[in-house]
Amino acid sequence: DGRVGSQLVLDQLASIEVVDKSGFIHEFGMEEKLVCFCEFLHEVRDAYGDKTRGSTSEGEPLHGGLVSVVLRREALPASEREMYHVLHQRCIDEIPKAWPDWLRQAAGRAGRARQSQDLRLLQYSEGSRFEVHVDSGWACQALIYLNDAGKDFTGGSTCFPNLGAAYRPRRGRVLLWRSVCVGHRPLIPGSWKDHPAAHVAGEVHGGIKRV
């Protein structure tokens, strides 16, 4: 039957903070200058966002009018590409601290993490959420919170139902996890529902949340 919890379980997780104890999720703090750079990317998303993936002002047609914009490195002015590189490398540098043997196990002795050429900007307004999913397009993801729950918005926790974990957004807080999970065998072949990386962005009840 899979492991993703009922809506009641998700709602309960969304109302509290429970940090993952298994080591699957790695947490660290992003430097303020890089948080400010992410905020800058939000401000210029209409100018430089990938318009083939939906309106850069209104976002893709996701839950509750969620703004979801892909921004590619080559679309940025040359003056901003170095900071884009620094941002990605900062996240990559955390991988061996979080899971020392993961790259070797996943990709062999010569395995290494490579920088992505794009990132996704998300803006949640009142009533918007992101249903349970696994980001299968990337081996590893970093989620960077740009503002604070309880101050800038209400709701909006990130929940990992199969881990029983939930995180309240806090400016500069970063969650790092893997969609390529060495050793994971799904209960149902081909299903992601029991994957530890399955997560949901809880509904925002007021204000604006940005990641």
More confident residue, 190 or 155: 155
Amino acid identity for residue 202 in this structure: G
**Helix, strand, coil abundance in the chain, percent, nearest 5:** 25, 25, 45
Query: Which pTM value belongs to this model?
Result: 0.89
More confident residue, 110 or 92: 92
Interval 184-202: pLDDT, tens: 777 777 777 888 999 999 9
Nearest to 166 by CA among 117, 199, 143: 199
Per-residue pLDDT for 140 more than 70?
yes
Q: Which residues of 157-170 are buried (b: 16+ CB within 10 A; e: fewer)?
A: bbbbbbbebbbbbe
Nearest to 211 by CA among 160, 166, 148, 162: 148
Helix (H), strand (E), coil (C) string for 129-148: CEEEECCCCCCEEEEECCCC
